[in-house]
Amino acid sequence: MPRLKPEARAEKEEQRKTQIIKSAYEVISAKGYNNFTLDDIAKNAGLSKGGVLHYFKSKEDILIYLLEQIYIIIKKNINKRAYKYRTPERRMRAIVIAFIVTAKRHPAFYTVLVDFWAQIPINERVKHINTDIYNQLCGEVVKVIEDGISQGVFKPVDAGLAAHAIVAMVMNVAIQWTFNQQLYNIDHLAKTCMKMIMTFLEEKAK
């Protein structure tokens, strides 16, 4: 059998890693963070345990990579929507919508994240990755707030603290909805969140 060229080999490896991560996501969604094994992931992916370990050294490596990928998708959704617009108000609205759309399209994302967060007190790698990427999400909100302040449409606030409060609020709305989708109309609540955010940011700017 002819050897694959480096580019083709790299592409195949990336496809296999994606297959494994997708399998891990499905398994964790069904069983929870602490209730599955590498064998479960391998079986769900249609691979051997050795095949999985060829691409990831341990179960923890798979979980860390999955955590990173979930946050990356959320961040991409934020950027894709927010940077369609020029005004800070519309960009902030787009960010809120991005969190909600992620919950509606991938409801298990947030339930899996909650499983990961439960590991933070006992797992330094999860704590480090979560803190780093969560801060990146907040950083996107900081940019919008600072832009609004510089344009005079938002009042002067501590952009970092405000961004963390906004992300925490909107993510919690999404999380609670994924736990119980009959709890409230998520679109209506997203509008309420947006009104609260804009009331706070614009209160003294106009």
86 SS3 class: coil
* pLDDT above 60: residue 205: no
Question: Using 50, 70 and 90 to split pLDDT, how confident is the model at 2?
Answer: low
Confidence at residue 5, expressed as pLDDT on a 0 to 100 scale: 67
For residue 4, what pLDDT is reported? Answer: 57
CA distance 173 to 130: 19
Residue 173 in this model has a pLDDT that exceeds 70: yes
Q: Are residues 29 and 117 in the same domain?
A: no
DSSP state of 206: -
123-135 pLDDT, tens digit each: 898 899 889 888 9
Do 49 and 134 lie in one domain? The reply is no
d(CA 1, CA 3): 7
Residues 130 and 146 in one domain: yes
Residue 139 phi, psi (nearest 5): -60, -35
Among 40, 57, 74, residue at a domain's last position: 57
Q: Are residues 4 and 86 in the same domain?
A: no
At 195, is the pLDDT very low, low, confident or very high (cuts 50, 70, 90)?
Answer: very high
73 and 108 in a common domain: yes
Average pLDDT over residues 172-200: 89
Look at the pTM and tell me if it is higher than 0.85: no
94 and 68 share one domain: yes
Instruction: Indicate whether 8 and 39 sit together in one domain.
Output: yes
CATH of the domain at 15: 1.10.10.60
Range of the domain at 10: 1-57
Give the rounded percent of residues in the chain with a pLDDT score beyond 90: 32
pLDDT in tens, 61-104: 888 888 888 888 888 888 888 888 889 999 999 999 888 888 88
Cα angle 89, 94, 98 (rounded to 5 degrees) comes to 155
> Does residue 72 share a domain with residue 45?
no
More confident residue, 10 or 18: 18
pLDDT-derived band of residue 1, with 50, 70 and 90 as boundaries? very low
Task: Note whether 137 and 70 are same-domain residues.
Answer: yes
Q: Note whether 12 and 78 are same-domain residues.
A: no
CA 20 → CA 26, 114, 135, 197, distances in Å?
A: 10, 21, 27, 39
3-state SS string for 104-168? HHCHHHHHHHHHHHCCCCCCHHHHHHHHHHHHHHHHHHHHHHHHHHHHCCCCCCCHHHHHHHHHH
Taking Cα atoms as reference points, which of 107, 193, 205 lies closest to residue 149? 205
100 and 144, same structural domain? yes
CA distance 7 to 10: 5
